[in-house]
Amino acid sequence: MALTDAGQRLLEDAGPAVDQALESLKAVKVRRGEVTGRVRLTVPSAAVPLALAPLIPRFVERHPKVEAPA
């Protein structure tokens, strides 16, 4: 199965908007005070094993609906 040329263009053009709409729908289904979303960290790579790696599992445990870096 493959997309037609028109389907491929639609996917490329509308894909980001669809992703944003889905994220918005997830956000409105969240209970008040619940932490959700995606975490992006921009830190020096040396900081990851020293400072962040020990914290990420605990953060994910406390906030299971947050997508944390792998």
- pLDDT tens column, 34-45: 777 888 878 888
Decide if 30 contacts 36 (C-beta within 8 A).
Answer: yes
Based on the domain organization, do 39 and 22 belong to the same domain?
Answer: no
Mean pLDDT of 53-63: 87
Domain of residue 14 covers: 1-30
Based on the domain organization, do 41 and 70 belong to the same domain?
Answer: yes
Q: What is the pTM of this model?
A: 0.46
Q: Closest by alpha carbon to 64, among 32, 27, 21, 34?
A: 34
Given this model, what pLDDT does residue 30 score?
64
Q: Closest by alpha carbon to 37, among 18, 13, 20?
A: 20
Based on the domain organization, do 45 and 69 belong to the same domain?
Answer: yes
Based on the domain organization, do 26 and 41 belong to the same domain?
Answer: no
Q: What is the pLDDT of residues 5-32, one digit of tens each?
A: 888 888 788 888 878 887 877 766 667 7
